[in-house]
Amino acid sequence: MAAAIEISGLAKSFAHDPGPPVLGAVDLGIEENEFVVLLGRSGCGKTTLLNLVAGLETPSAGRILVGGTPVTGPGGGKGMVFQQGALFPWLTARRNIAFAARNRGVASAEADRLADELLALVGLAGAGHKYPFELSGGMQQRVAIARALALDPKILLMDEPFGALDEITRNEMQDELLRVWAQRRKTVVFVTHSIWEGLILADRILVMAPRPGRFVLERRIDLPRPRRRSDPALIALYDEIWACLRGDA
């Protein structure tokens, strides 16, 4: 079976950006339904890598296959959740989600029904008529996740989706995400700079270093979920990852 995401020799430099490339030659294979976390300090190219997979940026070299087909642009079932939520402020939660479904050809009534179903899935049943500004940061991210799921995506790309939330909400959202992910299995690439977030969520953690952006550490976590932060295996991993991150300063 083809890997869900297959990245080979991927490099990216921006015009008018001197210095080493933002991404060196990166290779990465991600299996179907795998939950991969990209971890690294700000500016090491995590967002750039995600944008390349999403088709929002074009590579300087190398290639990306999603589901065996080369990425030529955004859309086509590559769902993305942004840090700021990026919900359309003029649409209610339900319309935001339906927007995604409508664009892949789902009829209006069916899109509304799907939106309500997804709202219920992310724990927001009954909040469909609310505008984004009426929702808390955590609720907005739930809607953003539901909206990405409405694309019925093959892969879900998440760029620090909980980065703007307070720690309590953030921990809740991690549990929520795992619950949703258990019900709707997807291949997930999740960017964060919180080590614990990575440890709680990931099947596999990849630690990145900057300029050129590259992977410097890869760890598989086979522990069952939900995971406890007091788990000695996680604490050992935490120390190892922290040492690695501190080293690349």
Q: Give me the residues that bind ligand ADP (CB under 6 A), please.
A: 14, 17, 22, 40, 42-48
* Cα separation, 247 vs 249, whole angstroms: 6
Closest C-alpha to 199, from 190, 208, 186: 190
Nearer to ligand ADP, 118 or 191 (CB): 191
* Cα separation, 118 vs 81, whole angstroms: 15
Strand partners, 204: 36, 220
Distance of CA 214 to the CA centre of its chain: 18
Strand partners, 65: 6, 70
Q: What angle do CA 137, 152, 148 make, to 5 degrees?
A: 20
Among 82, 162, 181, 190, binds other proteins (CB under 8 A): 82
CB of residue 159 vs Mg ion: minimum separation in angstroms?
6
Asked if 48 is part of the footprint of Mg ion (rule: CB under 5 A), the reply reads no
Nearer to Mg ion, 4 or 50 (CB): 50
Residue 32 CB contacts under 8 Å (≥ 6 apart), including other chains: 1, 3, 4, 187
- Binding-site partner at residue 130 among other proteins, ligand ADP, Mg ion, none, CB < 5 to 8 Å by type: none
Among 20, 43, 75, 226, binds other proteins (CB under 8 A): 75
CB of residue 25 vs ligand ADP: minimum separation in angstroms?
16
Asked if 122 is part of the footprint of other proteins (rule: CB under 8 A), the reply reads no
Nearer to ligand ADP, 46 or 186 (CB): 46
Can you give the binding site for Mg ion, defined by CB under 5 A? 47
